[in-house]
Amino acid sequence: MPSYTPPLRDMQFVLHEVLKVTDDYKAIPRHADTDTDTINAVLEEAGKFASEVTFPLNIAGDTIGCTLNKETHEVTTPPGFKDAYARFVEGGWGAVSCDPEFGGQGLPFTVNQCLYEMLNSANQAWTMYPGLTHGAYEALHAHGTPEQKKTFLPKLTSGEWTGTMCLTEPQCGTDLGLLRTRAEPQGDGSYKLTGNKIFISAGEHDMVDNIIHLVLARLPDSPQGSKGISLFIVPKFMVNADGKLGKRNGIYCGGLEHKMGIHGNATAQIVLDGAVGTLVGEPNKGLQAMFVMMNAARIGVGTQSLGLTEVAYQNALAYAKDRIQMRSLSGVKAKDKPADPIIVHPDVRKMLLTAKAYAEGGRALSLFCALLIDRELFHEDAKVRADSAEMVALLTPIVKAFLTDNGHTATNACMQVFGGHGYIKEWGMEQYVRDNRINMIYEGTNTVQSLDLLGRKILGNNGATLKKFGKLVGQLVEEEGVNEKMAEFINPIAYLGDQMTKFTTELGFKGFQNPDEVGAAAVDYLRVLGHLVFGYFWARMAQVALREIEAGNKDPFYQGKLQTARFYFARLFPETATLMRTARSGAASLLDTDAALS
């Protein structure tokens, strides 16, 4: 059976020693009183909830899954899920970073990000229920009318009701311009929606009294394509003027998807049969409103893979220390045993360190983005808010795609550490591989994220935002460039930072002549930039660790951080050279292949 220990020490290291978040909070009135002790206390309790309440349900939830009563269209979640969710609501965990006006605790988003990393390590399928609810809260908080906010936000904040996002249809996934769900105005400000949605995570379940669906649909006179999409609130049960639940709405689950993983989450086929809804925002501008939820979900999906990478690493490390197989090539290490623990073998350490480096690098990036969101939403300086929003937009596709790709690499490596036992269900490792696999697909496949990054976020503004990130790298290089002890971390990012300008310009010029060149290079480009971002944060973490060691701090945590940084730059960061070469190879080897693919 697997185990999980919340990585509180590393979270505290990133928050307080690397990012120094409380310094930022002092310039944000809403968070000015949030101090280190408060953050640590909340995270400790969050870790207890994740490890003691939801983690024990993970394997059983995967084995039993959700069941649909086809006559009533009701879904039953795995045993324990409903009780755990009730404890989640009772503990106020859904309200951590929500607006106090609607019953939220008003804590920084960085704290919420740590909570959700731990929840995803413990049980990704369960965590998707409150995770999607938080996204629905964000969308309505940004675009709902005062009446909609009053009706729905307090219940979404508390978690008493859950939320979904209903986008995908059988004939369209990423290309939402093809959706067919119709919304007919009723003359009283309401609409009746008819259509079918698929792949709706947490679309139907038994954990709450009401589910608030955010549905994309077309008005009768809407333009074709994505410019003709509107957003609607469609509750499972109608809500009366007094806030009490009314009649059952015409939206129900027609089937559950049979999936590779996340079996504990109800991935529903949703039927809308004259379901009553209300418009969110302006007609035909639903995508703008839904993008609030979609972008939150993309960062959330990256956090899902971060959580799985961490828990897979923890279990692989424990197994490698205990499992004995063969002797070390350099001589016997465990003289009192018939064989050595497999952790002595170089390639086992490579697999373990790969997972560790990707988990800790991902945590630094994830929390940096959370801090940017805190600045974007609540900083007093308008320029800081705008700059933070711009940087989050650049980094969001990297969080989604780079962290989930790395999660795929890491969970597979950790399963490999177990050998044949990793392939057996009882150890839990194969579930982490299966659960992570969806993260590379939903909320926009990683290819879509790559196209968004290179085509829109970088070439779309001639690299202006990329240059701003480059300035962060440049500042660190200037600060530590003459420090010989930092050279192994600074030199690689300085070199790649210089290369990125030429590399990006070259791809932009080729793309201007032939847009397919952008499509051919985008996936490799995202991984290159992902490594530059990770390299920047690993250099910052090494900087802190070196300063502590030089100051006489004997805590082995800092030596471990330094050793992991050295591994990352020696073994993972060099992937960028190959990726740049393949990105530059052009579209012809992919598209001039009709005979090969005939």
pLDDT at 13: 98
User: Which residue blocks in 34-108 are alpha helix, DSSP H?
Assistant: 36-49, 58-64, 81-90
C-alpha–C-alpha distance, residues 539 and 478, integer Å: 13
pLDDT at 294: 82
Query: In sequence order, what E strands does 430-583 have?
Result: none
Q: Which residues of 238-250 are buried (b: 16+ CB within 10 A; e: fewer)?
A: bbeeeeeeeeebb
473 neighbors 402 (Cβ within 8 angstroms): no
Per-position pLDDT tens, the chain of length 598: 899 999 999 999 999 999 999 999 999 999 999 999 999 999 999 999 999 999 999 999 999 999 999 999 999 999 999 999 999 999 999 999 999 999 999 999 999 999 999 999 999 999 999 999 999 999 999 999 999 999 999 999 999 999 999 999 999 988 888 999 999 999 999 999 999 999 999 999 999 999 999 999 999 999 999 899 999 999 999 999 999 999 999 999 999 999 999 999 999 999 999 999 999 999 999 988 888 878 888 999 999 999 999 999 999 999 999 999 999 999 999 999 999 999 999 999 999 999 999 999 999 999 999 999 999 999 999 999 999 999 999 999 999 999 999 999 999 999 999 999 999 999 999 999 999 999 999 999 999 999 999 999 999 999 999 999 999 999 999 999 899 999 999 999 999 999 999 999 999 999 999 999 999 999 999 999 999 999 999 999 999 999 999 999 999 999 999 999 999 999 999 999 999 999 999 999 999 999 999 9
Neighbouring residues of 345: CB distance < 8 A, sequence distance ≥ 6 = 326, 328, 329
Task: Take residue 281 and report the two structure tokens written for it.
Answer: 């925002």
pLDDT at 117: 98
How many CB atoms are located within 10 Å of the residue 594 CB? 7
pLDDT at 366: 98
Q: Which residues of 378-402 are buried (b: 16+ CB within 10 A; e: fewer)?
A: bbeeeebeebbebbbbbbbbbbbbb
C-alpha–C-alpha distance, residues 426 and 2, integer Å: 8
pLDDT at 300: 96
pLDDT at 292: 81
What values do phi and psi take at 248, rounded to 5?
-65, 130
C-alpha–C-alpha distance, residues 496 and 491, integer Å: 9
| CA angle, 60 then 64 then 69, to 5° | 145
What DSSP character marks residue 440? G
Helix (H) or strand (E) holding 215: strand 211-217
Q: Cite the active site residues.
A: 443
pLDDT at 1: 86
| CA angle, 69 then 214 then 211, to 5° | 40
Residue 233's DSSP bridge partners are 214, 278
If phi > 0 it is left, if psi is from -120 to 50 it is alpha, else beta; for residue 67 that is: beta
C-alpha–C-alpha distance, residues 591 and 259, integer Å: 32
Instruction: Supply the DSSP string of 172-203, one letter for each residue.
Output: BSS-GGG---EEEE-SSSEEEEEEEEEEEET-
C-alpha–C-alpha distance, residues 121 and 6, integer Å: 8
The structure's pTM equals: 0.98
